[in-house]
Amino acid sequence: MARRLFCATRALLLPPAPAPAPAPTSASSAAAAEAAASLLPLLPCKRRKKLLRKLNSPRVAPIEPEAARRVPALDAVLDRDTAFRFLHRARSFLASLPPPHRIPLSEAGKLYRELGFPRGRKVSRSATRHPLLFHLPVVGSVPHLALTPFMCSLLEEERRIHDDLLPSRVRAVRKLLMLTAHRRVPLAKLHHCRAVLGLPDDFRDRVHDFPDDFRVVVDPRDGRHFLELARWDPALAVSALERDFVVDERRVRRTFRFAVPHRRLMPLDAEDADRLDTATTFPLVSPYTNGALLKPWTPEAEKYRVGVVHEFLSLTLEKRAMIHHIVEFKEEFGLTRHMYESLQKQNRAFYLAGTEMNWALFLRAAYHENGELKEKDPLVLFNEKLQRYACMSKMDSRETMIDAAGLTE
């Protein structure tokens, strides 16, 4: 039955030559926008126009305009990312520095993008919110931003997790390369999306340890380094949808829908319309086929692009990605400017959260109704533990350590 669902022939498949972290205390962006909109009738005309312009701005306007179709539990995931942006970016930046992993506070104040704090704000204000993980030592009368010894021990634990998960990460990168048109990706793009894919910060150096899977080539035109697939593995050319179809065929058939537009003169009831849509939806196109052989602007090409995005999200750490991470691989995946409309039509498979300027794409099937992942990677569990420590004060930490010592006795 799986072969009937995915029309990928053998020729096309061959290559060419514990508990969750506490939710942030701040209100969600959607709730804040609704609260601001409720004040519009009470404001003077000029202030009302000014606030209305801000609410209609792509920075604030939600990507899902209908409030009834929003999923607050998944929207809260993005709000949690915003609350812990400084934590994850600052620990990654400071960990890349040589020991003792510190930087003068005057220089850190200029790196608002790298450290993830709001522009125009003091970096010390963000650091003092996480006293267990960051501190401000004074070295030679110069204040510095540095990692605490406790944070350094957590980073060692994270490195051990990355070492244990490296074989599965290599497998995921191989599948990612098999999705691309030319079986190669710039190393800079992989480094930019390393957090989404769960790759270690030094993955660019570790690829040389797998000569049977990868090879690094240099483009003679611009000097960019590309990670190229060394060999094609037919066993990996099986998408997540194909595996799910074998287990639960009915759920996969309900997930996607490529409807055929028809006029009102064609009398079809709901049952007949569903049968017509099913006939045009299936078979789907495997994302591991050669998409260049498909004619553009055809239903098969749209099925292929939707399948590529679905497979890419299934390879990510939390089964979700921001739009700029997906656009990074636009050329490699053969995506078009109409991808947003295609994803919006598949609202049973995907959920779009965020604002019009910066939105994220979720795999609905990977999440529970409360916004929790159904299957959590060990690195996801570590990040949740790190976020719990970030919300603790020093007094809370002492009590936790005392309780842990009492349990061990």
Work out the percent of the chain whose per-residue pLDDT is above 70: 77
Give me 80's structure tokens.
Answer: 């949690």
Residue 150 pLDDT exceeds 90: yes
**pLDDT one-digit tens code per residue, 309-355:** 999 999 999 999 999 999 999 999 988 888 888 888 888 899 999 88
Asked if 300 and 335 count as a contact pair (C-beta separation under 8 A), the reply is: no
Place of tokens 């065929």: 249
pLDDT-derived band at 393 (thresholds 50, 70, 90) equals confident
pLDDT(227) > 90: yes
The pTM score is 0.83
Q: How far apart are CA 313 and CA 179, in angstroms?
A: 12
pLDDT digits (tens, 9 = 90+) for 99-127: 889 999 999 999 999 999 988 889 999 99
End-to-end CA distance of the chain: 57
Amino acid making up residue 105: L
What is the number of other CB atoms lying within 10 angstroms of the CB of residue 8?
23
Average pLDDT over residues 146-156: 94
Q: Which residue has the higher pLDDT, 110 or 407?
A: 110
87 within 8 A of 80, measured Cβ to Cβ: no
Question: Cα-Cα-Cα-Cα dihedral of 389, 393, 395, 400, to 10°?
Answer: -20
**Backbone torsions φ then ψ of 186, nearest 5 degrees:** -60, 135
Average pLDDT, the chain: 82
Domains located in the chain, CATH noted: 80-147 (1.10.10), 156-379 (no CATH)
DSSP state of 99: T
* Residue 339, number of CB atoms within 10 A of its CB: 19
Preceding peptide of 283 cis, ω within 30°: yes
The helix (H) or strand (E) run that includes residue 330 is helix 330-333
Q: Which residue carries 């390879």 as its tokens?
A: 315
The CB density around residue 314, as the number of other CB atoms within 10 Å, is: 19
Report the pLDDT value the prediction gives residue 258, as an integer from 0 to 100. 74
User: Over the stretch 68-100, which tens digit does the pLDDT of each residue have?
Assistant: 888 999 999 999 999 999 999 999 999 999 888
DSSP assignment string, 282-311: -SB--TTS-GGGSPTTSHHHHHHHHHHHHH
Helices (H) and strands (E) in the chain, counts: 22, 10
Counting other chains too, the contacts that 44-47 makes at CB distance below 8 Å and 24 or more residues apart are: none
Q: What single string gives the DSSP state of each residue in 114-169?
A: HHT--TTS-HHHHHTT-TTTEE--EETTEEEEEE-HHHHHHHHHHHHHHHHHHHHH
- For residue 111, how many other CB atoms are within 10 A of its CB? 16
Q: pLDDT band at 185, cuts 50/70/90?
A: very high
What SS3 state is found at 268? coil
- Rounded to whole angstroms, what are the CA distances from 69 to 38, 163, 348? 20, 41, 11
Q: What's the rounded Cα separation, in Å, for the pair 105 and 123?
A: 8
Nearest to 148 by CA among 222, 106, 90, 221: 90
Confidence of residue 264 (pLDDT cuts 50, 70, 90): low
Residue 33 has pLDDT above 90, yes or no: no
- Mean of the pLDDT values across residues 360-388? 94
Q: Which residues contact 96 (CB under 8 A, 6 or more apart)?
A: 201
Alpha carbon distance 280, 300 (integer Å): 10
The H or E element spanning position 320 is strand 320-322
Which residues contact residue 24 at a Cβ distance below 8 angstroms, ignoring those fewer than 6 apart?
A: 79, 80, 82, 83, 84
Order of strands, edge to edge, in the sheet holding 225-229?
184-186, 225-229, 214-218
The burial of 34, by beta-carbon neighbours within 10 Å (0-12 exposed, 13-18 middle, 19 or more buried), is given as: middle
Contact (Cβ atoms closer than 8 angstroms) between residue 228 and residue 183: yes
CA–CA separation, 248 vs 281, rounded Å? 17
